[in-house]
Structure 1
């Protein structure tokens, strides 16, 4: 699972009361111009907060006409980081810069999310590089490789055929430290791959990954070396 993030829906909810106080249209009448393309509220709500470079709210009808809008609803203009330098967005930024706003245009900032509790952490899987504390084998990575060396049983057929190399695996370190979903990403031979999975399945429980101060499920990648 990716990091906990806010979507544009948060901005819609945050913006609505302010616009209502100014006798503007309610949030269901908002129009969304995203990277030069008009989209529906549902489409806009899917936009990840972290992907947004700028978000501008235009309320005055005379200013909205610059963007081909003539109704009384509010206009939210979103420029994403991925397309900040596109031809459409360059033109949009030029249009915004020429508008004589009565006040500084609204640049909506969502309130900081509350620190989630243990029960509010999603059950999805986090990337191990995106969390506060990575999961760890008891004693550290050196202890993990010592465990592998002591427990690997080199397949006879693979040894006979002089097959050597690394098996790359992925797995999930659960909140309780157990390992699940063990998969071979790149292997050597069927018997060696099976042995790598077997040994990893026999691993002691790890110290789980920590995010927002509580244990989370974490996807982890590692390689097991087979050498004669």
Structure 2
């Protein structure tokens, strides 16, 4: 079968084993090889490839990776749901969403309860808004503490909504963190903040970079293992 001839992304449902999987094909003149990743927000598979790459080879690769793909998509269905009576983690601690439709004030914490007010149709947005604000407070304080201890100071901190990565560090010293990180436990937060701070000194993943990370946090191995197993679920929380 010939390679896809369109120059723009397009979506197709492909049967992998017994599961119908949405595939977003992304031809790119900059791509040198086929690459496959799971998009937690779309709960779909994104396939990037050179325009001349044979589609039959791409489909065969997807079939060979069907167990991994379908298992990852299944995990995403277990992602936290921002709805009444759902349980979501905040700093790694389970909290129950309790809806008070006639109250006002947005959302707030009461022990292990997240109280959300207003119309039910807006609960998801109110929970997300609360978590974003909470992330600015919690992650910002953690960043300032670790920056002072390490003497590695970013030019600024941005809290954003990302679906494929937890953070980044620009050459100008700007650190970006996903607000969804506030749902993870403290060791995971600490590791990812240390990771981005280390990039202020090493804009790579060299041995020197990892040595610096390990001096900044004792949680790297624990956090990496946790993120590998649970990270996509938090990135797809909705």
What is the TM-score of this pair, normalised by structure 1?
0.21
Q: Which has the higher contact order (CA 8 A, sep 6+)?
A: 1
Higher Rg of the two aligned structures = 1
Higher relative helix content: 2
What is the TM-score of this pair, normalised by structure 2?
0.21
